[in-house]
Amino acid sequence: MNSRLPPLNPLRAFEATARCGSVSAAARELNVTHGAVSHQIKALEESLNVSLFERGGKRLKLTSEGALLLPAVTQAFGEIAAATAQMKRPATSGELSITCVPALLSFWIVPRLNNFTEQYPGVRLKISASNDPTQLHSADVDVCILYGDGNWPDAWTRLWSNLQLFPVASPTLLNSRPLRTIRDLEDHVLLHGDDDGREWNTWLSAADAIELPRRQQHFMGDARFSTEAALHGQGIALGDTITASNLIARGELVVPFDLSVAANDSFYVACRPAVRSTPIVRVFIDWMFLSLEADRLAEPQTSARTLLRGRRV
């Protein structure tokens, strides 16, 4: 049995001509002359000792032999293209270790993890809740998502998102203890995240209420806990346009006042320069930014960003 295959270039000319319906269209696609395509098809027919096209008419028509050959050629070229693309694709398998701001991890990344897993099934994520920039220099951590000023020496950093801050509360709490004016905050517990009260001070200053008596305050140590406390009706927390957006869209939190302020810090993606270019790190960082952009394009009308759009400090 003769297993010798026909030459590649004539097969390409045949497949393109059959798909495009004319020698001229195939020549344009292959960026060669009309005569070159005709010559390749003729060479293939002579090699196989068959006619592949019925000549005559404006559009070429396959003979029975051509119709038999075309599916096999099309499949073969498709498999070659797929294999080539696979070879060029970055190696995205193995373990990727990430630390992330707890609130962002709980309320933004975890709900979207399935999207990353579907795109990169070979990546095993090891995720820890942390906002400790010293982790940037740990050999056990690949990527850090931090809330801060972005000034971390000897690290690659990129701003991921700025934030607007605003009070958020459980609708159940407000049904029993309304917030009709900012002065009504005196009757509520103020919930602080991972700061010393500066962020609430910034918002109250913008509201001309910096002297407002604060009878009850809890310092939760992390914005995730202050948000969860607000969800349970334990007081009023400061939400932001990233982590609180879905909770507001679902009606689990409400925004009682039309006032937001810029956060003191921002979310950053950071890592050691030595690992920045590795494929597994690169695809995760790209996914973070693409997912944020997708959120903005598909923003629901009840999101925090929409609620606060146009509001002035």
pLDDT(91) > 70: no
Q: What is the pLDDT of residues 206-231, one digit of tens each?
A: 999 998 888 899 998 889 999 999 99
Q: What is the pLDDT of residues 169-212, one digit of tens each?
A: 999 999 999 889 999 999 999 999 888 888 999 999 999 999 88
- Nearest CA to 238 out of 260, 221, 268 is that of 260
Q: What is the pLDDT of residues 101-122, one digit of tens each?
A: 999 999 999 999 999 999 999 9
pLDDT at residue number 86: 56
pLDDT(302) > 50: no
Q: Decide: helix, strand or coil at residue 126.
A: strand
Average pLDDT for 130-143: 94
Q: Is this model's pTM higher than 0.75 or not?
A: no
pLDDT at residue number 6: 80
Q: Who contacts 146 (Cβ-Cβ below 8 Å, separation ≥6)? A: 101, 131, 133, 152, 267, 268, 270
103: tokens are 């609130």
pLDDT at residue number 161: 95
Domains of the chain: 8-88 (1.10.10.10), 94-313 (3.40.190.290)
